[in-house]
Amino acid sequence: MAKRVLIVDDALFMRTMLGDIFTEAGWQVVSEAEDGKAAINEYRIHQPDLVTMDIVMPEMGGIEALKGILSEFPEANIVVCSALGQKKLILDAINAGALDFIVKPFQSRQVLEVVDRVISG
């Protein structure tokens, strides 16, 4: 059965791009979310194998959402996405429990490598 991913990003463009990468690699994109609150809800509903989480989003940011999800589902596999130059945020996210990170702009190869590591590890 195909692995299931939840894509969280406030930019439609990023969601679409990530969605394409995952679909091409044989994943099922179970849902998308535009902010942290929606992300927690969608996680509860679908409990996917993986979440890609943007860090900077309106309403509730990625780090808070990440903590929210992990407090309910400690086994959740979450990878954060962040623009170059947000090193501090990435560090905080990892410290809060993100398993890995992807730096935008990214290539599909890089995304899939990170994802494979997280899922197989």
Partner 1 sequence: MDIAKFKEMFLNEATEHLEIMVNILLQLDSNPDDPEGIDALFREAHSIKGMAATMEYGETARLAHHLEDRLDGCRQAQRISGVEIDWLLEATDLLGLLLSDIRSDQAERNVDRFIVSTPKEQVADATVVDEPREIVPDSSKKGVLIQLKLHDTVAAPGPRFLVLLKRLTDFGTILKSTPSKEDLLQGEAPVQLLVRLETDLEQEELCQQLEKYSELKDISFPPEDEPAKKQKKQPTGKTVRISTELLDHFINLAGELITNRYQLQNALKKRDWNELDDGVGQMVRLVKNLHHQVLQVRMVSLESLAGRLSRTVHDLSRNSEKEITFETDGMDIELDRAIVEELTDPLIHMVRNAVDHGIDQAGTVTVKAWRERDQVLVEVADNGCGIDPEKIRQRALTVGLLSSLQAKSIRNYDLFQLICQPGFSTVEEVNETSGRGVGMDVVKTAVEHVGGILSIDSSPGAGTRFILKLPLSLAIIRVLIVESDGTRMAMPITRVVQTVEIAAADVQSSGKQLMIHYLDELLPLLSLRKILRRPKGDPHDPVSVVITEVLGRKVGLVVDRLIRQQEVFVQRLPEPFDQIRGCSGGTILGSGEIVFLLDLQSLFERRRS
Task: List contacts with partner 1 (CB under 8 A).
Answer: 84, 87-88, 90-91, 94-95, 99-101, 103, 113, 116-117, 120-121
- Which of these, 15, 19, 9, lies nearest to 55 by C-alpha position? 9
The set of residues, in sequence order, having a beta carbon less than 8 Å from that of 89 and lying 6+ positions away, is: 55, 56, 63, 82
Is the Cβ–Cβ distance between 82 and 89 less than 8 Å? yes
Q: What is the DSSP letter of 111?
A: H
Strand order in the sheet with 78-83: 28-33, 4-8, 50-54, 78-83, 100-104
Rounded to the nearest whole angstrom, what is the least distance from the CB of residue 23 to partner 1 in the complex? 23
The nearer residue to partner 1, 38 or 119, going by C-beta atoms, is 119
Least distance from C-beta 89 to partner 1, angstroms? 9
Provide, rounded to whole angstroms, the least separation between the CB of residue 37 and partner 1: 25
When the beta carbons of 76 and 90 are compared against partner 1, the nearer one is 90
Nearer to partner 1, 31 or 82 (CB): 82
Q: CA–CA separation, 97 vs 75, rounded Å?
A: 10
Minimal distance in Å, beta carbon 121 to partner 1?
Answer: 7
Nearer to partner 1, 56 or 103 (CB): 103
